[in-house]
Amino acid sequence: MDSYDTSESTPRHSASSRLKDYFIGATPLQKRLESVRKLTSFIPTPPRRKIPQCSQLQEDNDPQKVAFLLHKQWTLYSLTPLYKFSYTNLKEYSRLLSAFIAAEKQKGLAVEVGEDFNIKVTFSTLLGMKGTQRDSEAFLVQILSKSQLPYENREHKVLWTGWFCCIFGDSLLETVSEDFTCVPLFLANGAETNTAIVGTWFQKTFDCYFSPLAINAFNLSWMAAMWTACKMDQYMAATEFLWSVPCSPQSLDISYAIHPEDAKALWDSVHKTPGEVTQEEVDLFMDCLYSHFHRHFKIHLSATRLVRVSTSVASAHTDGKIKILCHKYLIGVLAYLTELAIFQID
């Protein structure tokens, strides 16, 4: 029996030590391939995550400057690293992108009925929107309309906003070489046609790829738990969940709203480890909600699909739409979204 055991265990041991040697001398590409192979799960789930806190970097953030990011609905995309993107060339990029948009509009692809506005594009960096110093700077792209009439105050109306950021993107940063800039999370607000045009330009110029970031029910329940766990001085909105029940002919939607303080009380009763959220706590939190609902309505919410979560911190929809309501936890929310984006890229 003993000889059988050792012969079985030795191949496994040598395989793992070979793996370690392979990792030490590996190039970034090899490291990435190895990490993809090791990743057996298709949704990220570290057993525990940190509850969003105010990070020191965020303290430098002027609340006024980022106020325009709050209370807006953003559509999420994940973005592969940009090749040869430089923060010093932002003016050049704005010029090129304006020209590209003008050309596209002339082609008739995105025709706006009515006045012929001049389009102006601005690229600017968003300071303080990062998790660690290693993260790439976040930057913002805006499409503004310039009024041609000389006597009007030259106010620029913002037609479309998109911003790129990377919050705690260490796992991605390690595996790319110097020429690449990692800004895996892209958020867009405005007309879909403009998003498509900007996306096309970026893809052509920097050899990257956008893909819409959907948030599945599993991640939505994590968000619900993490955002309920955030300490808030005052609650602006009720904690709301929306489930979709697939049934014919039309799907049924179930909406469940809880007073935010009750939600927090429930979370506190479930929460054990300070500062961290574990899978068991998330499951327990959601199970409490499901069983409460079942007791009253005899419906098993666990058999339906969670599509929307809304708390005082932020609200998220499964189609990849997010609205951040609280300045304090902006970085925390973005950190989780960055993680999802990085996972989708992988």
Partner 1 sequence: MCFPGLLVRPPEGGSREVRSAVRTGPERLQPGPSPRAWRSPLSLVGTEDALLQQLADSMLKEDCASELKVHLARSLPLPSNVNRPRIDLIVFVVNLHSKYSLRNVEESLHHVDTTFFLGKVGFLITGAGREGHCSIHRNTVVRLARTYRSPLLFCDLEVEGFRATVAQRLVRMLQICAGHVPGVSALNLLSLLRSSENPALEDV
Q: Which residues bind partner 1 (CB under 8 A)?
A: 12, 15, 38, 40-43, 45, 214, 216-218, 221, 279, 286, 290, 300, 302-306, 318
Structure tokens at 265: 């009380």
Q: Which is nearer to partner 1, 141 or 284 (CB)?
A: 284
3-state secondary structure of 217: helix
Q: Which is nearer to partner 1, 193 or 244 (CB)?
A: 244
Q: Which is nearer to partner 1, 72 or 300 (CB)?
A: 300
Structure tokens at 23: 């990792």
Structure tokens at 287: 């199970």
Q: Residue 180 CB: number of other CB atoms within 10 A?
A: 21
Closest CB 278 distance from partner 1, rounded Å? 13
Q: Which is nearer to partner 1, 19 or 102 (CB)?
A: 19
- Interatomic CA distance for residues 139 and 162, integer angstroms: 9
- Interatomic CA distance for residues 246 and 264, integer angstroms: 30
Closest CB 43 distance from partner 1, rounded Å? 6
- Interatomic CA distance for residues 124 and 158, integer angstroms: 14
Q: Which is nearer to partner 1, 44 or 199 (CB)?
A: 44
- Interatomic CA distance for residues 316 and 228, integer angstroms: 13
Nearest to 22 by CA among 9, 12, 10, 35: 35
Among all chains, which residue has been given the structure tokens 């309501």?
325
Closest CB 217 distance from partner 1, rounded Å? 4
Closest CB 280 distance from partner 1, rounded Å? 11
CA distances from 145 to 38, 115, 116, 124, 160 (A): 48, 11, 10, 17, 9
Phi and psi at 171, nearest 5°, equal -65, -30
Q: Which is nearer to partner 1, 12 or 154 (CB)?
A: 12
Closest CB 45 distance from partner 1, rounded Å? 5
Closest CB 119 distance from partner 1, rounded Å? 34
